[in-house]
């Protein structure tokens, strides 16, 4: 009796969305190959890449890795979501709203990626290969992906049954289907950095920031100033992750990257502005951070569809979003879980039905979440919205303040029935 051949998926992009899809598609009985432009898995801890994982994402990731305790050991709790008003002129702050049932965990991007990657079978990645193009066979039975090796410039062809586009917010695969769909600049950028305080736990900077923010290690702090806001939380291994959103014209991005390296003059100017805006304890954290960088903030209007024939979008390729609701990674993890379950339910023989169900489950959710994250960014950044007055931390009433909480994100507690 001949064994039935496994269907094959080609995943373009080896970030969190890509490796998550590898886990769920393997579980659904698929062979997978990931095409990734990087030469090797990320090592070390790149600056400024903290993220928050919600309870559902934590449960899903724990089910994918061999030792679920590893995820707990690689993260810190975020049990509190707190929004404070900051009066930079008088150097005082007060709490606007506080949710003590947040129940998330903070991770470093590289740590989470390593957990997911190391739990995969070996030899799934095609490292150092740049995705070039794809085509559907004339009988629509397969998808052909072309990629080139960075080292040899050799062009290879990969034949599969499904192409999973996990190639990020600048997705070239998405662009081939919706060429007029553009990213939307938010009107502001983020200064980002991570202070590694290893060996300096008793320094004036650390004792000062812990006195002013006593629940670091379990609290997600938002600081709302006049027309700007910050984020501060602790990561494992003695690291403080901070973000400061600053209004500025759209930058001229190089090399299709959303991040920019800052010159020493830019950093000095940022330090001087921080002294005017924030509490001295927070300013010291900023000043002692090595190599802070600038992250341009983009999203896009929701797409009308996220699959075509044998091609499906996941993660930031499907729904570029602003970071104000800690959704990007959580959306990617849930995309992967739902896609895997849909493929498992329908089988490769009915790929169309599987992708239709994936789209019907995920598209309404991610569309509302992208727009809500956009709205929250504009509120916290003091920008105009058509249906409300500018948010003023000094005059906001309790109801307005409560709406700043993360739990008011649409579908925040939702678990798709296909995952139950």
What residue ranges define each of the domains in the chain, with the CATH number in brackets?
A: 8-51+111-182+301-384 (3.50.50.60), 69-107+186-299 (3.30.9.60)
Geometric angle at alpha carbon 321, from 316 and 324, rounded to 5°: 135
| Direct distance between the N- and C-terminal alpha carbons of the chain, in angstroms, rounded to an integer | 35
Bridge partners, 164 (sequence order):
11, 312
In the β-sheet with 92-99, what is the strand arrangement from edge to edge? 92-99, 80-87, 219-224, 229-235, 239-247, 184-196, 293-299, 259-261
Distance, CA of 96 to CA of 74 (rounded, Å): 31
Residue in 2, 96, 123, 111 with CA at minimum distance from that of residue 49: 111
Q: Would you state the pLDDT for residue 44? A: 60
Spell out the long-range contacts of 300-304 with Cβ–Cβ below 8 A and sequence spacing 24 or more.
300/169, 300/181, 300/182, 300/183, 300/184, 300/370, 301/181, 301/184, 302/363, 302/366, 302/367, 302/370, 302/371, 303/174, 303/178, 303/181, 303/363, 303/367
Indicate the SS3 state at residue 239.
Answer: strand
Q: Would you state the pLDDT for residue 2? A: 45
Q: What contacts 334, CB < 8 A, 6 or more positions away?
A: 56, 57, 60, 362, 365, 416
Token pair 């190089």 is found at 254
Q: Would you state the pLDDT for residue 1? A: 40
Taking the CA atoms of 299, 115, 39 and 153 in sequence, report the sign of the dihedral they define. Answer: negative
Q: Would you state the pLDDT for residue 5? A: 87
Q: Would you state the pLDDT for residue 273? A: 97
Q: Would you state the pLDDT for residue 46? A: 52
Distance, CA of 410 to CA of 371 (rounded, Å): 10
Residues 180, 27 contacting (CB under 8 angstroms): no
Residue in 82, 77, 84 with CA at minimum distance from that of residue 104: 77
Q: In Å, how far are 11, 27, 333, 338 from 419, measured between CA atoms? A: 22, 13, 12, 7
Eight-class DSSP state of 28: T
Tokens of 166: 């996990």
Distance, CA of 94 to CA of 401 (rounded, Å): 12
Tokens of 273: 């502005």
Distance, CA of 37 to CA of 42 (rounded, Å): 12
Distance, CA of 80 to CA of 86 (rounded, Å): 18
Distance, CA of 52 to CA of 75 (rounded, Å): 9
Distance, CA of 405 to CA of 420 (rounded, Å): 27
In tens digits, what is the pLDDT along the chain, a chain of 420 residues?
445 789 999 999 999 999 999 999 999 999 999 999 998 888 765 545 899 999 999 999 999 998 989 999 999 999 999 999 999 999 999 999 999 999 999 999 999 999 999 999 999 999 999 999 999 999 999 999 999 999 999 999 999 999 999 999 999 999 999 999 999 999 999 999 999 999 999 999 999 999 999 999 999 999 999 999 999 999 999 999 999 999 999 998 876 678 888 999 999 999 999 999 999 999 999 999 999 999 999 999 999 999 999 999 999 999 999 999 999 999 999 999 999 999 999 999 999 999 999 999 999 999 999 999 999 999 999 999 999 889 999 899 999 999 999 999 999 999 999 999
Residues 273, 292 contacting (CB under 8 angstroms): no
Q: Pairing mode, if any, of strands 104-108 and 143-149?
A: unpaired
């Amino acid at each position: 009796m001949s064994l039935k051949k496994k269907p094959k998926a080609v995943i373009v992009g080896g970030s969190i969305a890509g490796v998550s899809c590898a886990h769920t598609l393997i579980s659904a009985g698929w062979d997978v190959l990931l095409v990734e432009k990087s030469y090797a898995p990320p090592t070390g801890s790149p600056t400024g890449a903290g993220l928050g994982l919600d309870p559902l994402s934590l449960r899903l990731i724990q089910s994918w890795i061999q030792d679920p305790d590893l995820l707990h050991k690689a993260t810190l709790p975020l049990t509190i979501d707190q929004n404070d008003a900051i009066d930079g002129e008088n150097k005082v702050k007060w709490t606007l709203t506080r949710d003590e049932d947040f129940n998330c965990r903070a991770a470093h991007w590289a740590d989470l990626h390593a957990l997911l990657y190391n739990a995969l079978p070996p030899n799934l990645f095609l490292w150092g290969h740049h995705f070039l193009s794809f085509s559907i066979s004339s009988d629509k039975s397969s998808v052909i992906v072309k990629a080139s090796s960075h080292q040899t410039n050799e062009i290879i062809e990969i034949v599969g049954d499904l192409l999973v586009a996990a190639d990020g917010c600048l997705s070239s695969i998405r662009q081939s289907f919706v060429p007029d769909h553009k990213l939307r600049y938010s009107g502001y950028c983020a200064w980002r950095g991570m202070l590694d305080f290893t060996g300096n736990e008793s320094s004036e900077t650390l004792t000062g920031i812990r006195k002013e923010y006593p629940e670091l290690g379990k609290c997600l702090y938002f600081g709302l100033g006049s027309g700007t806001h910050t984020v501060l939380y602790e990561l494992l291994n003695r690291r403080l992750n901070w973000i400061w959103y600053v209004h500025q014209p759209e930058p001229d991005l190089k090399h299709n990257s959303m991040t920019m390296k800052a010159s020493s003059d830019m950093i000095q100017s940022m330090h001087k502005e921080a002294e005017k805006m924030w509490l001295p304890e927070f300013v010291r954290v900023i000043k002692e951070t090595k190599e802070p960088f600038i992250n341009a903030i983009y999203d896009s209007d929701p797409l009308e569809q996220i699959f075509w024939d044998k091609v499906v979008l996941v993660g930031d390729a499907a729904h570029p979003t602003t970071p104000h609701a800690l959704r990007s990674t959580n959306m990617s993890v849930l995309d992967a879980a739902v896609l895997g379950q849909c493929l498992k339910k329908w089988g490769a023989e009915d790929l169309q039905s599987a992708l239709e169900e994936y789209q019907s489950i995920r598209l309404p959710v991610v569309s509302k979440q992208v727009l809500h994250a956009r709205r929250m960014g504009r509120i916290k950044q003091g920008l105009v919205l058509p249906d409300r007055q500018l948010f003023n931390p000094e005059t906001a009433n309790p109801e307005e303040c409560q709406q700043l909480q993360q739990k008011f994100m649409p579908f925040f507690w939702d678990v798709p029935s296909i995952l139950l």
